[in-house]
Chains A and B, each alone.
Chain A
Amino acid sequence: MDLYKALKISGTSLNTQRTVMNIISTNVANAQTTRTEEGGPYRRKIAVLGPAEAPADFSRIFAGRMEMGLEGVEVKEIVADLSDLVAQYDPQHPDADERGYVTLPNVNILEEMVQLMSAARNYEASVTAFNSAKNMILKALEIGR
């Protein structure tokens, strides 16, 4: 375990939080989408995070064992939120059913904003951790000067 490893771990976190922010942006952008490729209205997407695993290559697996799998974080999968869709009365809408109701995506803008802020804070925390490790490396270069 050296300090470059710490930089790498913070890097995985930055990458992951950026992906999470992209997913949230997609949710917000599609908050009113009623037609998708799969048919039906858009469903909210959720990123599932998990500890990253060392790539399957002997030396990396060995190194991973040595450092107890400290590999940072990654997006394990992106799943659709299966909660109820929202029905809204709008008879003029082309996708309205015979009773005049349009089925809208299950995206709650407020909830997405809170998730976005949480991801941004996590991103900042990892930037701090990254800078901290970077300062330590720079400081170590001063030994014996």
Chain B
Amino acid sequence: MNQFLSGRLFDRTIHFLEQSLNLRGARQGILANNIANAETPDYSAKDLPFQKIMRQKMGDPSTVSVQKTHPHHFPEPGSASGKESGLPWSVETDSSGVTIDQEMTKLAENNLQYQSAVQALTKKLETIKYVISDGGR
């Protein structure tokens, strides 16, 4: 996709909604894994810090981050970069085991947030479609 199209037609909103869907999908897997391991001894619940990751992706000015431009650069202090944990995002581990009610709540919330992101994306695309087909009339 060239710069014109990606810059004007498909703006930041669509890009962020896409990121959001990716994250929600990954979080669903992590929550499903927590529920599956509810009875496993010594298992600790995992989660994706959704807001933190999105804030990084959206370039929130309140969290200034340093870009690593060389593999031998030191990581930013206090940040568990995705490279070490395997996932492209850092995953938080709660050492207190799995609370099934909490996991089910998170699951329902994640599902609804996913659906609303899909809804927003659909509306956004509808708007573009409308402009393309009816804008010149």
What residues make up the interface of A, taking CB atoms closer than 8 Å to B? Answer: 1-3, 5-7, 9-10, 12-13, 16, 49-51, 65-68, 70-73, 118, 121-122, 125-126, 128-130, 132-133, 135-136, 139-140, 142-145
Contacts and interface: CB of A to CB of B under 8 A. Distances in A.
Contact of A70 (B29, B104, B110, B125): B29
B53 interface: no
A27 B51 CA distance: 47
* Residue from A12, A13, A143 with most neighbouring chain B CB atoms (10 Å): A143
Contacts of B65: none
Contacts of A71: 33
B85 interface: yes
B80 to A, nearest CB: 12
Contacts of A128: 104, 107
B19 interface: no
Interface string B1-31: 0000000000000000000010011101111
A35 B103 CA distance: 44
B125 A143 contact: yes
Contacts of B31: 6, 129
A51 B37 CA distance: 7
24 contacts: A1-B26, A3-B28, A6-B25, A9-B32, A10-B35, A10-B36, A49-B37, A51-B40, A67-B29, A68-B86, A72-B33, A73-B39, A118-B39, A121-B100, A122-B35, A122-B38, A129-B31, A129-B35, A136-B24, A136-B28, A139-B118, A142-B118, A143-B121, A145-B122
B107 A51 contact: no
Interface of B: 21, 24-26, 28-33, 35-41, 43, 46, 85-87, 91, 100, 103-104, 107-108, 110-111, 114-115, 118, 121-122, 125
A136 B29 contact: no
Contacts of A143: 118, 121-122, 125
A130 B111 CA distance: 11
Contacts, number: 113
Majority-rule SS of B interface residues: helix
Contact of B36 (A9, A66, A140, A142): A9
A136 B25 contact: yes
B25 A2 contact: yes
Given A1-B25, A1-B29, A6-B29, A68 B91 contact: yes
A66 B91 CA distance: 12
Contacts of B110: 132
